[in-house]
Amino acid sequence: MRRPDTPPPMGDTGVRLGLTENWKQFWLLVLVNAFVGAMVGLERTVLPLIAEEEFGMVARRAILSFIVTFGFVKAGTNYFAGRLGDLFGRKKVLLAGWLFGIPVPFLLIWAPSWSWIVVANVLLGVNQGLAWSTTVIMKIDLVGPRARGLAMGLNEFAGYLAVALAALGTGWVAEIFGLRPEPFYMGIGFVAFGLGLTLLFVQDTAAHVALEARHHTGPLQDPRLGARLGGRELFALASWRHPALFGSSQAGMVTNFKDGLAWGLFPLFFAAGGLSLGQIGILTFIYPALWGILQIWTGGLSDRLGRKPLLVGGMLLQGMALFLVAAGGGFPVWFVGSALLGAGTALVYPTLLASVADVAHPTWRGSAVGVYRLWRDSGYAFGAIVAGVLADGFGIRSAILAGGALALLSGALVWLRMPETLPGRGPSHPSGSTPPPDPPSPADPAAPSPHRMHP
């Protein structure tokens, strides 16, 4: 692998790796991902309240069914998005994601029953799995190994700041006009802009993948991490066999377990505490807003300090924040708890993606990110299921406390079992060591194609 302080490689066609070298496409993808995130933000403030007020739903498990559906569909789609992008190219997958998003705002506006809401979240899960996964992978392709943490921080900053702004906007609109249909009109614009930008201006990153493949070796020098991996082998490696990939997958799943819980229960918990729709909108804004904004710094910080310190600290901070929310009462305490929850999530979110990218070979990186995001986003569904059961049986406060305990346990697992993956800091690639020789060029018939998975 190249030393971190050397210039990015350049291919025969003039393609270069690096954020500066690819800034136009990179920032275009940041903007596209903002529209992707805004689609999720449409639901975060008002949908649990619509379930209670318009459809008369009382059981928390039933109300959280839309998150369960969204989580499982998005998780599965993440995996296929990575595989399809490796096989057929990234832009086609991104376009498909936007096509699945077109009906979502209309279903939310016109839904005569809760089953329509569930169908809308099936389509939203596919939209998010295809579109968000692909923008992540394309940015990793563009920047190369030097600034992955920063790239992921900027990507997730745009996505989750958009989630926060859409959640805040729908809360304000709902307080003025009502829960439906006005808050969801914004979604029509989000789809139109996202699809239009992708179709007209986004370019595929296949040439960048091919270029990096000629210069890549895994930072941990693990013989299992070569260029030729089959689908089953890759799934097992990224799920449990490799300690760094396992650590990323379990921490990501617990992080989104917490988010599924917060998404479904926080509005109900705050409403039961006497807060207005406007105040609930502020709380549902501040959590993803800090989650998004702070990633501008936390992603780059992981490029300097290493991945593991931010992961351990972030999981512990999330756990403590959930304890504060559960123990508190009233807007000021809940504001602080929500802010700390956003800060803890910001520490881990770009760092986990960067850790996976550190380890994965460029030829199967999309698939590895897909497996990680499968486990991570299944946390939405598991969080909603467990939170609903605990809230119905023991109350919402107990469900939030359980989420905090799980986050602390996940942080302990990262600390005890996960190795550092940042190039130059890993246990088998000490800083200052001589990089191993480059692998064969893709022009060599024996070298793997950057868009083929090998059985």
Q: What is the pLDDT of residues 388-420, one digit of tens each?
A: 899 989 999 999 999 999 999 999 999 999 999
Mean pLDDT estimate for the chain: 84
CA distance 382 to 376: 10
DSSP track, 81-145: HHHHHHHH-HHHHHHHHHHHHTTHHHHHHH-SSHHHHHHHHHHHHHHHHHHHHHHHHHHHHHHTT
Q: What is the mean pLDDT of residues 72-79?
A: 88
Pick 326 or 260 by higher pLDDT. Answer: 326
- Environment class of 328 (CB within 10 Å of its CB; exposed 0-12, middle 13-18, buried 19+): middle
9 confidence band (pLDDT: 50, 70, 90)? low
Q: What is the mean pLDDT of residues 237-247?
A: 84
Q: What is the pTM of this model?
A: 0.73
Q: How far is CA 170 from the centre of its chain?
A: 22
CA distance 252 to 438: 32
pLDDT (0 to 100) of residue 448: 39
Q: Which of 337, 288, 331, 294 is nearest to 167 (CA)?
A: 288
423 confidence band (pLDDT: 50, 70, 90)? confident
CA distance 276 to 291: 23
Q: Which two tokens mark 88?
A: 């057929």
Q: Which of 357, 363, 372 is nearest to 226 (CA)?
A: 363
Domains of the chain: 23-208+231-417 (1.20.1250.20)
**What's the sign of the alpha-carbon dihedral 240, 246, 252, 257?**
positive
Residues in CB range of 393: below 8 A, 6 or more apart? none
Residues in CB range of 16: below 8 A, 6 or more apart? 8, 9, 10, 22, 211
